[in-house]
Amino acid sequence: MELYAERGYEQTTVTEIAKRAGLTERTFFRHYADKREVLFAGSALLRERMVGGLAGAPPSAPPIDAVAAALQEAAAVLDERRPQARQRQRIITANAELQERELVKLASLASAMGEALRARGVSEPAASLAAEAGIAVFKVAFERWIDTTGVRGLGAFVLEGLAGLESLMAGGRP
């Protein structure tokens, strides 16, 4: 992350990353497929926490409430890493290839939540719609959270986004 911030993503080589980390290139490639994956290594944890949060919602919870529980779990993970999340997002924003990879990650998270909702007995298209809406709320909340300097956690922005979505669905204005 430091190298990407110092030199830019495109100018940073795997050799430089490995050297800075005190590793050989071979060891680097045992952990990451390429230099891009350094920025996305936490995706598996985020997915696990989201699916776990969704699965832990009360069985009677409506699909969007189960998704809300998933988003709050993800928010808790990221709240612990706000400075790193900001730095990571600056790097991603500066590179079209990384922006594309971020969209793939978000689509994967939506797919995982859709699967978890179907496992709870939610039928289609409700499962996919709830999962996709949740990811949209999460994306907007994350962007707002990254852009603020206050002490509010990501979870507060998620709740605001969910309330805005609910207001839109009811025909009101958020």
Q: What is the pLDDT of residue 168?
A: 87
Pairwise CA distance, residues 116 & 40, whole Å: 22
- Res 126: pLDDT: 96
Please check whether residue 113 is in contact with residue 54, taking contact to mean a CB–CB distance below 8 angstroms.
yes
Give the mean pLDDT of the chain. 92
Nearest to 35 by CA among 22, 43, 25: 25
Which structural domains are found in the chain, ordered by start? Answer: 1-39 (1.10.10.60), 42-169 (1.10.357.10)
How would residue 6 be classed by pLDDT, with cut points 50, 70 and 90?
Answer: confident
Work out the average pLDDT over 104-117.
96
Q: Higher-confidence residue: 41 or 70? A: 70
Flag whether pLDDT at 38 surpasses 90. Answer: no
How many angstroms separate the CA atoms of 59 and 130, rounded? Answer: 16
Torsion of CA 102, 108, 114, 119, to 10 degrees: -140
Q: Give the pLDDT score at 174.
A: 58
% of residues, the chain, pLDDT over 90: 67
Query: 20: which residues sit within 8 A by CB, 6+ positions away?
Result: 2, 3
Least confident range of 30-39, 86-95, 106-115: 30-39
Statement: residue 69 has pLDDT above 80: yes
The DSSP-derived string for 41-58 is TTHHHHHHHHHHHHHTS-
